[in-house]
């Protein structure tokens, strides 16, 4: 049986912190689906299709990774694609408390799905999408926090101000 993991999130935008979690998880799973949730309470900054396109570009060289958008419950999405694992990153104690509740509820909803957590590497602990979004919005230098080539970063920055 393939070890398939879903890495769910808003990824608005995807940062080097997210990239690091996915790359480190590659040795644990046969396939990782980076899944952009479409029905969160958060208002979108970038359209889901753009986020999908940019994330796919970051991992264009990795066969085991794919990107998708999804709606509805994350555990239902996992079941629909036969994924047995949910991957999440932990930065702080606050992340832990938030993730603990979600993982325990998910476990109660769906016993067959295991949540797997990777601790952030220290150099990425301070990075979060909402700060990177603010930098982009204000025209600051977001490049150090964005993954991928300089061309991809240009694309994201130009899109922000188009």
- Catalytic residue, chosen from 10, 20, 115, 129, is 129
Locate tokens 């979690």: which residue? 21
> Applying CB under 6 A, which of residues 9, 84, 147, 148 lies at the interface with ligand ADP?
9
Q: Is 143 a catalytic residue?
A: no
* Min CB(136)–ligand ADP separation in Å: 15
Contacts to ligand ADP from residues 34-53, by CB under 6 A:
none
Site track 84-123 with ligand ADP (rule: CB under 6 A), x = hit:
----xx-x---x------------------------x---
In SS3 terms, the chain reads as CCCEEEEEECCCCCCHHHHHHHHHHCCCCCEEEEEEECCCCCCCCCCHHHHHHHHHHHCCCCCCEEEEEECCCHHHHHHHCCCCEEEEEECCHHHHHHHHHHHHHHHHHCCCCEEEEEECCHHHCCCCHHHHHHHHHCCCCCHHHCCCCHHHHHHHHHHHCC
Q: Is 111 a catalytic residue?
A: no
- Verify binding: residue 21, ligand ADP, rule CB under 6 A: yes
Stretch that binds ligand ADP, among 12-20, 25-33, 136-144, 152-160 (CB under 6 A): 12-20
Q: Is 42 a catalytic residue?
A: yes
Judged by the rule CB under 6 A, the positions of this chain that interact with ligand ADP are 9-11, 15, 17-18, 21, 88-89, 91, 95, 120, 124, 127-129
């Amino acid at each position: 049986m393939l070890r398939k993991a879903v890495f769910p999130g808003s990824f608005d935008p995807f940062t080097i912190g997210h990239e690091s979690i996915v790359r480190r998880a590659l040795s644990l799973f046969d396939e990782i689906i980076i899944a952009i949730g479409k029905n969160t309470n958060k208002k979108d900054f970038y359209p889901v299709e753009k986020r999908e396109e940019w994330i796919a570009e970051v991992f264009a060289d990795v066969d085991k990774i794919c990107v998708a958008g999804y709606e509805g419950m994350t555990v239902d999405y996992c079941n629909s694609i036969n994924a047995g694992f949910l991957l999440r990153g932990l930065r702080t104690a606050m992340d832990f408390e938030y993730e603990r509740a979600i993982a325990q509820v998910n476990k109660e909803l769906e016993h067959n799905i295991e949540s797997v957590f990777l601790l952030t590497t220290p150099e990425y602990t301070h990075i979060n999408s909402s700060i990177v979004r603010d930098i982009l919005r204000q025209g600051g230098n977001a490049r150090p926090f964005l993954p991928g080539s300089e061309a991809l970063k240009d694309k994201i920055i130009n899109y922000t101000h188009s």
